[in-house]
Amino acid sequence: MLALRPNCECCDADLPPESAEAMICSFECTFCRSCAEGALGGHCPNCAGELVRRPVRPAEKLAKYPASRERKVKAEGCPAAA
């Protein structure tokens, strides 16, 4: 099951589970759309995999399967936008 992480690993922007701006890789590294499509060029900086839009979990399922609250931010930051 997707963890639905609460923030962008690069800029720490909030990405609530209903956000259409959340982008993830196959390992669930999570980024906001502006980082994913800008600085990251559509690829995860951790695993080099592709970043795709994170599906939104229906609200009634969130009650039973809540989103992760564990914030992850890359300590060394992300590459600056080209």
Binding site for Zn ion (CB under 5 A): 8, 10-11, 13, 25, 27, 29, 32, 35, 44, 46-47
Cβ density class 58-81: b for 16+ within 10 Å, e for less: eeeeeeeeebeeeebeeeeebeee
Residues whose CB falls within 8 Å of the CB of residue 61, separated by 6 or more in sequence, listed in order = none
Task: Output 37 or 62, the one with its CB closest to Zn ion.
Answer: 37
In whole angstroms, the minimum distance from the beta carbon of 65 to Zn ion comes to 22
Task: Output 38 or 56, the one with its CB closest to Zn ion.
Answer: 38
In whole angstroms, the minimum distance from the beta carbon of 63 to Zn ion comes to 27
